Amino acid sequence: MNARAMVITLASLLLGAPYPGTAQGFAGLGTDAEGFAVPQRGTPLAFPKDHGAHPDYRIEWWYLTATLDGAGGQEYGVQWTLFRSALAPSEAEGWDSPQVWMGHAGLTTAEAHFSAERFARGGTGQAGGTIDPFVAHIDDWHMISRAAEGADAYDALRAHARGADFSFDLDFDAEGPLVKHGDDGYSMKSAEGQASYYYSQPFYRVTGTLHLPDGPVEVTGQGWLDREWSSQPLAEDQAGWDWVSLSFDDGHRMMGFQLRGTQTFTAGTWITPSGDPTPLPDGALRFTPLAHTQIDARRVPTSWRIEWPEGELDIETEPLNPRAWMDLSISYWEGPLRFSGSHSGRGYLEMTGY
Amino acid sequence: MTRATFVAFLSHWWRNKLQLAMLLAGLALATALWSGVQALNTEARAAYATAEALLSEDGAAQLEHPSGQMAQDRFVELRRAGWLVSPVLEGRADLGETRVTLIGIEPLTAPPGAGPALAAQDLEGFVAGTGFAHPQTLREIGTSALDLRPSNAVPVGSVLVDIGTAQRLLETDRISHLTVNPDQPAGLRPLNEVAPDLRRIPPGEGAELGGLTESFHLNLTAFGLLSFAVGLFIVHSAVGLAFEQRRGMFRTLRALGLPLRVLTLALVAEMLVFALIAGAAGLVLGHVLASLLMPDVALTLRGLYGAPVPGALQFNPQWALAGLGMTLAGTAIAGGQALWRLWHLPVLAPARPRAWAQASRRGLRVQAGIALALGLVALILALRPEGGLVAGFALLAAALLAAALAVPVLLSAMLSVAERRARGPLAQWFWADSRQNLPRLSLALMALMLALAANIGVGTMVASFRATFIDWLDLRLVAEVNVLPANAEEAARLEPFLAARTDAVLPMLRIDATLEGQPGQVYAMKDHATFRDNWPLIAPVPQVWDRLAAGEGVLVNEQLYRRAGLDPGADRLALPGQDPLPVLGAYPDYGNPLAQAVIALPRFQDAYPGAPVRQFALRTDNPQALIAALQDEFGLSAAQITDQAQAKELSMAIFERTFVITRALNVLTLSVAALALFAALVTLAGMRLTQLAPLWALGLTPRHLAGLELARALVLGALTLLLALPVGLMLAQVLLAVINVQAFGWRLPLQVFPGDWARLALWAGLAVLAAASLPALRLWRDGPAQLLRGFAHER
C-alpha cells in the first residue's frame, strides 16, 4: 500500500500539531466515512477514469518515488506527492469547493534532505487531477502525461516540483504494466475491514535533472507510482505505518507494509518482472527494526529486517540518509534505501506516526 | 539630627497645606496631561501595528492592479508560475447595524500572520463562513447572519472572513490584491515578466497608517508637552516659594551644624517623594483623561485617515513609565534652582527673604536677552519653512518660549509707564507694588500668557479652517445625489438608466497609484460645468479646464502640489503607464491624507481600461424622485445612495472630529494655567502681609486692601491677555502656514474672529478672579489679626 501522510482535518494540520500515535490514528485517518463513498470488493478499476480524481472519496493521492544515480556515482532519492482531501463528498466551483489539496516534495542525498509543501483549495484551478489530458498539479508542481496517443496515460510522465532551495524535472517511462494490489485493486488495511483502492506502476525508468544548491545534476534511475483512494483507510487503534517499495536486482518488485496498532496488520504484493502480482496476506511479512535514529524528540527505526518466509526472503535495509525527515505541516520519514541479504536491490521507505 | 531635620521640613508643609496641595496638584496635572496624551498615542500606534500584522506577521509585499482589483485567475496564474501569493478581497459591506470593512483571506495560501492563525483555529468553520471581529465591532454590528467570533487581532471596524465568504457578501468574483509570501522558491521567472501589469508594493507601504497619522500624533505630543510645561510652572513656583519661606530655617539648621550634604539630600528626598506621590496620582488621572478622550481620538483617526483605532483604552506600562520619568525629570528641573540657591546660601548673612525680588532687575535683562535670541531662532526657522513638521514645531516652541520670557520684561515696562503717570500716593503705591511683586508672579503670568496664546492661536486656526472648509464644501458638493454601485456590472446597468433621468451623470473612476513617491490615487473627471464653475483652483494655467478636457494635462490636489513642490505650467507629473503630463493647476482637497491627481475621463479610460466606476455624482432637479426610482427599480440599499445634505453632514462631522482633541486639550491647558496663577497668588499673599500691614496701619480698611489685590490680579491678567493676543495670532499663522502645510498638506488663509477673543477675555477674567479671590477673601476676613502679625514677625 502507500497509506501515506494524509489530511482529514486541515485545521490541526495548519497548526502544525505533532502527530504521535493517538486513538484517532495518524493525521485523523481513523475517522469514519460518513457521507463518503467506501471501496467495495469486486468493483473493477477502470482506466483511464481512475487515473483522475475521485471527489466522492475522502482522500486520495498520486505518489511518485525514484531512486536515482548521478554521473559521478552519487545516489539520490526523489518524492513527488499530490494529496487530495475532501471536507464533504462533492465538488463545487470556486471557493465553495470542499476539496483541499496538498503537495509534498522531497529530495534526498547522502548528506542532506530537502522538503517542501504546497496547499490549495479546489474549485479555483490552483490544483487538481484531470484525465484528458492527464495532469495532476498544485501551483507549478505537476505530473503530466507524455504518453503517445492510445497508450495509457501513465506510460510516460513528466514530474516537476520546486522548494526553497531545490527543484527537479524528471521523465518517467514505464517498462512494464500497471499492477493492482490486494484483490484486483481492493486493498485491505485492517482485520476489521478498512480498505482502499490501490494500484501502482512500479516499472519506471527515470531520467532528468535535479537542481541542488550546488548546481544541476543529471540523473538516471528507477521510479514507482502509487495511486490510492479511500474514505477510511485506518482502523481506530492504528497509529502509523511502515511501508516499503523494493526493486530487486533480478527485476522483481515488491510492495509491503505494516500498520501498527494493538494488532499489527501486514500486507504486500510480490511482483514478477513481467508484472504478475501475488498478494501477501496479513502475517505473511515480518518487519523488525534493526537500528534507530534520533530525530529531534523522535526515535525513528531507519534500518529494518524484512522477512517473507514463504518466499524465502530475508533482507536488511540501509537508508541512503537516516535523517530523511519530511519536516512539514504533517511530518514523517521518507527516503531511499538499499537492501541486502537473501536478495539485494534498492527501494523507498516511508514511516509515519513516530 | 536627621530626625530633627525631617521634622523641621515637615513642619513647613504642615503649616502651608495649601502650598503643598498646589505643589502636588501641579505635578499630578502635568503628569496626567503628558501621560494621558502618551497613552492615546501608544494605543493608536498599537492599533496600527495590529492592522498591519493581520495579513502577515513580518510584513508581506502586495501585488496590485492599477484598477484596484483583479480577476481571481491572476492568483491562479501566478501560483502556477510558482509564485507563492495569496488572494485578499477587501470591501465595505453592511453587517447588522453598521457598515464594516470585510477582509477576505485564503487561509491555506496566506503567509503566516494573525489572520491566518485565527482561521486555523477552526479551518473548516472558517471556510464555511465563520468570521472574526474586534469585540467593539461586534457590539456595533449587533446581530448579523454571519457567525462572528471576537478577536483583538482584527482591527476595529473590520471583519475577517474567508475569501469565499467575502466574495459572496460583496457580490463579486474578483479579488483586491495579492499578498506575496516573503519566502519564495529560487529560480522563478521575475514578477515583471509573469505579471507586468501588477504593481509590487513593498511591505509596510500599502498600509501607511503609521506615516499618515504621524502628524496627528506629533500634534498631540506637542499639546501634551505644552500642558506639561504649564504644569511645571506651578511646581516651580511652589518649590521656589517654599524655599524662600524656609530660607531662615535652612540658615538655622546650617548654623546648628547640619552638613550641606545632608540638607541637600533631605531636600532631594523630599522632592522625590512628592514626585512619586504626585506622579502616581497623575498617572491614574492621565489614564482617566485618556479613557475619556479615546473615543474622540478614535473617531478622528478613523474619520481622517481611516485608521482602525478602538475607542477603548488598554493599560500599557510603556506610557506609564514614560509619564513617571517625565514627572521626575520635571521635578528636577523645577527644583534645581532651589538646590542651587541652597548651595549658595550664605550661612552667616542676615536673612533677606526679599532679596530675590531686589536682584531681579539684572535677571530681567538676562531674560530679555534670551527672549530676543529665541525670537531670532524662530525668525530664522520661519524663513526656511521647508524643514518639515519637526522644524515647524521647533519654530512654534522657540516663538512661544521667546514670547513667554518676554512677558515679565514687557509687563515690567508697562507697569513703570503706569507708575509714572499715576496720581496720588495710593495709585503710585499700587503700580510700584505690582511691579515689585512681578518677579514672583512672572512664572504664573508666563504660563497664563502661553495658555491664552495657545487658545487664541488654536481657536483662530480652527475657525479659519472651518470658514474656508464650509465655503469649499458648498462648492465641492454640488451633485445632488451620489450613487455607489456595488460592482462593475451594477455600474454598467445603472449608467443608461441614470443618463435618461438626470441632467448630468458624472462617473467617478479611480486607480491607486504612487505619485511622486507618495501613496495616492488618480481620478477621472468628465468635462462638465459642475467642475468648471465650482472647483476653486490654486495657481491654474490659462484655459485650464479646456486643456484638461483635451487630455493635455493633469490637475493635482493641494497636498501633492505642496509636498512635491509642483509648479503648474512648468512641472510634469508621472502617472502609472503614461508619459509624464504637464501639471495644469492644483485644487484644495481638505481632509484627504493621500496625494491625488485628476485627468480627463477619455484619457483615463484609454490608460486604465479595467477601472470600474466607483461612484456616480448626479445632477438633478428632483433628487427625492430619483432616489425613490433607484431604490424601487434597482433595489439599491440606502447605504449606496447619499444625497447632498447627507454628504455635507458627513464631511462636517469629520471636520468637527478633527479638532475635538485639540479643543479639549486647549481647555485643559487654560485650566492648568489658572491653577498656576492661583498657586502663585496664594503663596504670595502670605508673604506680602508685611508690606500690606503698614498700609492698614495708615488707615486703609482690609476690605479696601482686598479690593486692591483683586484689581491688581485683574490688571495683570488683562495686560497678559493683551500680550497674548499678538502671540496667539502669530501662533495661528504658524499653524496655518507651516504646521498644517507640513502635517496635512494644505494652506489656509488666516481669518480673525474678535468675538472669540471677547469670549476668551471673559473666561480669562473669571479664571483670574477665581484665582485671586481666595487670597483677597482671606485678607478681608482675617484682616486686622493677620496684618498685626506682620509687625510681630521680625523678618
- Bridge partners (DSSP) of residue B481 are B618, B643
pLDDT in tens, B502-561: 888 888 888 878 888 777 889 999 888 888 888 888 889 999 999 999 989 999 988 889
Of the pLDDT bands very low, low, confident and very high (cuts 50, 70, 90), residue A171 is very high
pLDDT at B607 over 60: yes
Q: Give me the domain span that covers residue B611.
A: 481-619
Are both B64 and B50 inside the same structural domain?
A: no
Q: Which residue of B has its CA nearest to A140?
A: B80
- Residue B448: inside a domain: no
* Mutation target vs B (from A12, A14, A84, A142; most B CBs, 10 A cutoff): A14
pLDDT at B608 over 90: no
* Residue contact A124–B75, C-beta within 8 A: yes
A133 cis-preceded (ω within 30 degrees of 0): yes
Place of cell 488598554: B314
pLDDT in tens, B450-492: 878 878 887 888 788 778 878 877 777 778 888 888 777 788 8
CB pairs under 8 A between A and B: 75
Sorted by sequence, the CB contacts under 8 Å of residue B326 that are 6+ apart come out as B30, B31, B34, B35, B228
CA distance B491 to chain A (A): 24
Write down the pLDDT at residue B150.
Answer: 93
* Mean pLDDT to the nearest integer, B703-732: 87
- Residue B91: inside a domain: yes
Write down the pLDDT at residue B81.
Answer: 94
User: In 3-state terms, what secondary structure has residue B85?
Assistant: strand
* Segment 196-255 of chain A within 8 Å of chain B by CB: 211
Q: Give yes or no for B86 touching A (CB within 8 A).
A: no
Length of chain B: 795
What grid cell was written down for B109? Answer: 495560501
Write down the pLDDT at residue A20.
Answer: 30
* Mean pLDDT to the nearest integer, B115-143: 88
Q: Give yes or no for A10 touching B (CB within 8 A).
A: yes
pLDDT in tens, B574-601: 888 788 899 999 998 876 778 889 999 9
Q: Give yes or no for A160 touching B (CB within 8 A).
A: no
* Segment 83-112 of chain A within 8 Å of chain B by CB: 87, 94-96, 100
**Final residue before a domain boundary, out of B181, B202, B223:** B202
- What CA–CA distance (Å, rounded) separates A12 from B557? 51
A20 vs B724 pLDDT, higher one: B724
pLDDT at B789 over 80: no
CA distance A249 to chain B (A): 37
Are both B2 and B84 inside the same structural domain?
A: no
* Mutation target vs B (from A121, A142, A212; most B CBs, 10 A cutoff): A121
What grid cell was written down for B21? Answer: 496641595
Q: Tell me the residue type at B655.
A: F
Write down the pLDDT at residue B611.
Answer: 79
What grid cell was written down for B204? Answer: 509596510
Q: Give yes or no for A9 touching B (CB within 8 A).
A: yes
Are both B33 and B112 inside the same structural domain?
A: no
* Residue contact A14–B162, C-beta within 8 A: no
Write down the pLDDT at residue B234.
Answer: 66
Which of A16-25, A201-210, B352-361, B696-705 has the weakest average pLDDT?
A16-25
- What CA–CA distance (Å, rounded) separates A354 from A332? 7
- Residue B291: inside a domain: yes
* Segment 124-153 of chain A within 8 Å of chain B by CB: 124-126, 137, 139-140
Are both B93 and B131 inside the same structural domain?
A: yes
* Mutation target vs A (from B123, B161, B184; most A CBs, 10 A cutoff): B123
Rounded to the nearest 10°, the torsion over CA B559, B564, B569, B573 is: -100
Are both B142 and B245 inside the same structural domain?
A: no
Residue B783 CB burial class (10 angstroms; 0-12, 13-18, ≥19): middle
* First-to-final CA distance of chain B: 25
pLDDT at B224 over 60: yes
Dihedral over Cα of B640, B643, B646, B648: its sign: positive
Strand A265-271 with B581-587, pairing: unpaired
**Final residue before a domain boundary, out of B619, B647, B665:** B619
- Residue B497: inside a domain: yes
Share of chain A above pLDDT 70, in %: 90
* Mean pLDDT to the nearest integer, B769-773: 82
- What CA–CA distance (Å, rounded) separates A276 from B202? 59
Own/partner pairs, B278-281, CB within 8 angstroms, 24+ separation: B278/B23, B278/B24, B278/B25, B278/B26, B278/B27, B278/B28, B278/B31, B278/B327, B279/B27, B279/B28, B279/B31, B279/B323, B279/B324, B279/B327, B279/B328, B280/B324, B281/B24, B281/B28, B281/B31, B281/B32
Compute how many other C-beta atoms are within 10 angstroms of the C-beta atom of residue B574.
Answer: 15
pLDDT in tens, B385-399: 566 667 777 888 888
**Final residue before a domain boundary, out of B289, B320, B353:** B353
pLDDT at A224 over 90: yes
Write down the pLDDT at residue A314.
Answer: 96
Compute how many other C-beta atoms are within 10 angstroms of the C-beta atom of residue A214.
Answer: 7
* Mean pLDDT to the nearest integer, A97-111: 94
Q: Which residue of B has its CA nearest to A212?
A: B186
* Residue contact A100–B108, C-beta within 8 A: yes
Compute how many other C-beta atoms are within 10 angstroms of the C-beta atom of residue B477.
Answer: 20
CA angle A158, A164, A170 (to 5 degrees): 15
- What CA–CA distance (Å, rounded) separates A221 from B706? 110
Helices assigned H by DSSP within B608-751: 623-634, 644-658, 660-687, 689-697, 702-734, 740-743
- Residue B76: inside a domain: yes
Of the pLDDT bands very low, low, confident and very high (cuts 50, 70, 90), residue B309 is confident
Are both B65 and B138 inside the same structural domain?
A: yes
Contact residues, chain B, for A139 at CB < 8 Å: 79-80, 82, 84
Residue A80: alpha-carbon gap to chain centroid: 9
- What CA–CA distance (Å, rounded) separates A316 from A300? 16
Are both B25 and B88 inside the same structural domain?
A: no
Q: Give yes or no for B704 touching A (CB within 8 A).
A: no
B197 vs B662 pLDDT, higher one: B197
Q: Give yes or no for A11 touching B (CB within 8 A).
A: yes
pLDDT in tens, B329-363: 878 877 787 777 777 766 655 445 444 445 556 67
CA distance B81 to chain A (A): 5
Helix or strand run (H / E) with residue B398: helix B388-421
Compute how many other C-beta atoms are within 10 angstroms of the C-beta atom of residue B150.
Answer: 13
Of the pLDDT bands very low, low, confident and very high (cuts 50, 70, 90), residue A28 is very low
* Residue contact A163–B173, C-beta within 8 A: no
- On whether the CB atoms of residues B102 and B60 are closer than 8 A, the answer is no
Place of cell 526472503: A313
Q: Give yes or no for A167 touching B (CB within 8 A).
A: yes
Are both B513 and B585 inside the same structural domain?
A: yes
- What CA–CA distance (Å, rounded) separates B739 from B746? 9
CA distance B45 to chain A (A): 29
Compute how many other C-beta atoms are within 10 angstroms of the C-beta atom of residue A279.
Answer: 17
Residue A296 gets the label, from left (phi > 0), alpha (psi -120 to 50) or beta, of: left
* Residue contact B187–A162, C-beta within 8 A: yes
Are both B106 and B123 inside the same structural domain?
A: yes
* Residue contact B185–A15, C-beta within 8 A: no
- Least CB-CB distance to B185: which of A14, A96, A164? A164
Place of cell 550661612: B347
Are both B198 and B61 inside the same structural domain?
A: yes
- On whether the CB atoms of residues B137 and B154 are closer than 8 A, the answer is yes
B202 cis-preceded (ω within 30 degrees of 0): no
Structural domains of chain A, ranges and CATH numbers in brackets? 10-351 (2.40.370.10)
- What CA–CA distance (Å, rounded) separates A86 from A58? 5
Contact residues, chain B, for A125 at CB < 8 Å: 73, 76
Write down the pLDDT at residue B208.
Answer: 53
What is the average pLDDT value for chain B, to the nearest integer?
81
CA distance B112 to chain A (A): 10
* Residue contact B124–A100, C-beta within 8 A: no
* Residue contact B164–A116, C-beta within 8 A: no
Highest mean pLDDT among A73-77, B205-209, B786-790: A73-77
* Residue contact B108–A119, C-beta within 8 A: yes
* Residue contact B79–A15, C-beta within 8 A: no
- Residue B709: inside a domain: no
Highest mean pLDDT among A240-254, B165-179, B477-491, B760-774: A240-254
Q: Give yes or no for B20 touching A (CB within 8 A).
A: no
Q: How many domains does chain B have?
A: 3
Contact residues, chain B, for A329 at CB < 8 Å: none
Share of chain B above pLDDT 90, in %: 11
Compute how many other C-beta atoms are within 10 angstroms of the C-beta atom of residue B702.
Answer: 20
Write down the pLDDT at residue B304.
Answer: 63
CA distance A214 to chain B (A): 13
Compute how many other C-beta atoms are within 10 angstroms of the C-beta atom of residue B757.
Answer: 21
* Mutation target vs B (from A101, A107, A124; most B CBs, 10 A cutoff): A124
Write down the pLDDT at residue B793.
Answer: 55
pLDDT in tens, B643-699: 877 777 777 776 676 666 667 767 776 776 777 777 777 767 766 777 777 888 888
* Residue contact A9–B123, C-beta within 8 A: yes
Write down the pLDDT at residue B707.
Answer: 87
Write down the pLDDT at residue B96.
Answer: 85
- Residue B224: inside a domain: yes
Are both B139 and B43 inside the same structural domain?
A: no
Contact residues, chain B, for A11 at CB < 8 Å: 120-124
Are both B44 and B68 inside the same structural domain?
A: no
pLDDT in tens, B622-634: 888 888 888 888 7
Highest mean pLDDT among A141-155, B32-46, B569-583, B676-690: A141-155
Contact residues, chain B, for A162 at CB < 8 Å: 82, 185-187
User: What ipTM score was computed for the predicted complex, to two decimals?
Assistant: 0.88
What grid cell was written down for A56? Answer: 466522492
In terms of Cα–Cα distance, which of B607, B509, B519 is closest to B560? B519
- Residue B786: inside a domain: no
Which of B36-50, B117-131, B495-509, B675-689 has the weakest average pLDDT?
B675-689
pLDDT in tens, B52-109: 777 766 677 888 887 777 889 999 999 999 999 999 998 888 888 888 889 999 999 9
Write down the pLDDT at residue B335.
Answer: 79
Rounded to the nearest 10°, the torsion over CA B421, B425, B427, B430 is: 110
- What CA–CA distance (Å, rounded) separates B152 from B35? 24
